Structure 1
Amino acid sequence: MKFNSVALTLATAGSMVAAQHQHRHRHHHKREVVTVDGPTVVEYMLNGQLITPEDVCDGITDGSLAWADGKPAGDPCQTTSSTQTYTPTLAPAKFIETSTSTSTSTSTSTTTSTSTSTSTSTSTSATITVSVPTATSVQSSATSSASSSTATGLDASFPDGELDCGTFPSDYGAIPLDYLGIGGWSGIQYVTLVGELISDIITAVTGDDCTDGAMCSYACPPGYQKSQWPSTQGATGQSVGGLECKAGKLYLTNSDLSDKLCIPGVGGVKAKNTLSEHVAVCRTDYPGTESETVPVSLVAGATEDLACPDGATYYQWEGKTTSAQYYVNPKGVSQEDGCQWGDGSKPIGNFAPINLGVGENSGKWLSIFQNSPTTTELLDFNIKIQGDDLSGSCKFEDGSFISDTGSNDSGCTVQVMSGDAYYIFY
Structure 2
Amino acid sequence: MKFNSVALTLATAGSLVAAQHNHPHRHHHKRTVDSQVVTDNGNTVIQYELNGKQVTAEYVCQGIRENKLKYADGQPAVDPCQSSSAVSSSSSPSSTPAATPTEVPTEAPTEAPGEFVETSLSASSASSSSAIATSSPAASSSASPKSSSSGGKGVDSDFPDGELDCGTFPSDYGAISLDYLGLGGWSGIQYVTLADKVVSDIVTAVTGDKCRSGAMCSYACPAGYQKSQWPITQGSTGQSVGGLECKNGKLYLTNPSLSKKLCIEGVGGVHAENKLGEEIAICRTDYPGTEAETIPLALGDNELQPLTCPNGATYFKWQGKITSAQYYVNPRGTSTKEGCQWGDGSKPVGNWAPINLGVGENNGKWLSIFQNSPTTSEKLDFNIKIQGDNLGGSCKYENGKFTSESGTNDSGCTVSVVSGDATFVFY
Q: 1:33 Cα shift? A: 10
Q: Which residue number corresponds to residue 205 of structure 1?
A: 206
3-state SS of 1:171 partner: helix
CA distance in 2, matches of 1:108, 1:374: 32
Q: Deviations over 1:251-301 (max 9, x none)?
A: 000111110000001000000000012110000000000000001111111
**Does 1:232 pair with 2:266?**
no
Q: Which residue of 1 aligns with 2:102?
A: none
**Counterpart mapping for 1:29-68 below 5 A:** 29=61, 31-32=65-66
1:375 maps to which residue?
376
Q: Does the alignment pair 1:419 with 2:420?
A: yes
Partners of 1:383 and 1:354 in 2: how far apart? 10
Higher Rg of the two aligned structures: 1
Whole-Å Cα distance in 1 between the matches of residues 250 and 286 of structure 2? 22
Closer/same/farther in 2, CA of residues 307 and 327 from structure 1, 3 Å limit? same
Give the number of the structure with larger relative contact order, counting CA–CA contacts within 8 Å between residues 6 or more apart: 2
Asked if 1:104 corresponds to 2:138, the answer is no
CA contact (8 A) 1:33 1:207 kept: no
| Cα distance change on mapping 1:33 and 1:212 into 2, 3 Å | farther
CA distance in 1, matches of 2:25, 2:271: 24
Task: Give the whole-Å Cα distance in 2 for the aligned partners of 1:371 and 1:282.
Answer: 13
Q: Is the 8 A contact 1:33 1:206 kept in 2?
A: no
8 Å CA contact 1:216, 1:241 repeated in 2: yes
In the aligned structure 1, how far is the partner of 2:354 from the partner of 2:193?
Answer: 34
Deviation at 1:195, TM superposition (A): 1.8
SS of the counterpart of 2:397? strand
- How many pairs are equivalent? 296
* Cα distance between partner residues in 1 of 2:375 and 2:270: 26
Partners of 1:242 and 1:32 lie apart in 2 by 26
1:19-42, CA deviations, whole angstroms, 9 ceiling, x for partnerless residues?
Answer: xxx9977457454399xxxxxxxx
Distance 1:379 1:223 in 2: 24
Structure 1 residues 256 and 184: CA distance shift in structure 2, 3 A: same
What secondary structure sits across from 2:347 in the alignment? coil
Unmatched 5+ stretches in structure 1: 1-21, 35-101, 110-151
AA at the equivalent of 1:107: S
Q: Do residues 190 (structure 1) and 195 (structure 2) align?
A: no
What's the RMSD between the two structures over aligned residues? 1.9
Which string of whole-angstrom CA distances, capped at 9 and with x for unpartnered residues, describes residues 29-77 of structure 1?
454399xxxxxxxxxxxxxxxxxxxxxxxxxxxxxxxxxxxxxxxxxxx
Q: Aligned partners of 2:179, 2:415: CA distance in 1, in Å?
A: 36
Measure the CA separation in 2 of the matches of 1:259 and 1:29: 34
- For 2:258, the equivalent position in structure 1 comes to 257
Partner of 1:9: none
Deviation at 1:332, TM superposition (A): 1.2
Q: Deviations over 1:182-218 (max 9, x none)?
A: 0000000011111211111111111111011000000
CA shift digits 1:331-350 (9 cap, x unpaired): 11000000001111110000
Q: Determine the C-alpha separation between the residues in 2 that align with 1:239 and 1:104.
A: 30
- 8 Å Cα contact 1:337-1:349 kept in structure 2: yes
The separation in 2 between residues aligned to 1:182 and 1:23, in whole angstroms, is: 26
Q: Whose helix fraction is larger, Structure 1's or Structure 2's?
A: 1
Whole-angstrom distance in 2 between the partners of 1:106 and 1:378: 29
Q: Which residue of 1 aligns with 2:308?
A: 307
Partners of 1:330 and 1:386 in 2: CA distance: 21
Look up the SS of the partner of 2:155 in the other structure.
helix
Pairing of 1:249-328 with structure 2 (within 5 A): 249-328=250-329
Partner of 2:401: 400
Q: In the alignment, which residue of structure 2 is the partner of 1:160?
A: 161
Q: CA deviation at 1:106?
A: 2.5
Counterparts of 2:206 and 2:239, CA distance in 1? 18
Q: Distance in 2 between matches of 1:400 and 1:246?
A: 49
Q: Distance in 1 between matches of 2:250 and 2:166?
A: 5
Alignment partner, residue 388 of structure 1 = 389
Letter in 1 for 2:66: E
Q: Which residue matches 1:46?
A: none
* 1:175 Cα deviation after fit: 0.4
Q: Which letter does structure 2 place at the counterpart of 1:183?
A: G
Pair 1:337-2:338 in alignment: yes
Q: Distance in 2 between the 1:310 and 1:195 partners?
A: 30
Change (3 A) 1:335 1:275: same
CA contact (8 A) 2:225 2:263 kept: yes
Deviations 1:339-386 (A, max 9, x none): 001111110000000000000001100000000000000000000000
Task: Note the residue ranges of structure 2 that are not aligned, 5 or more in a row.
Answer: 1-23, 27-55, 69-144
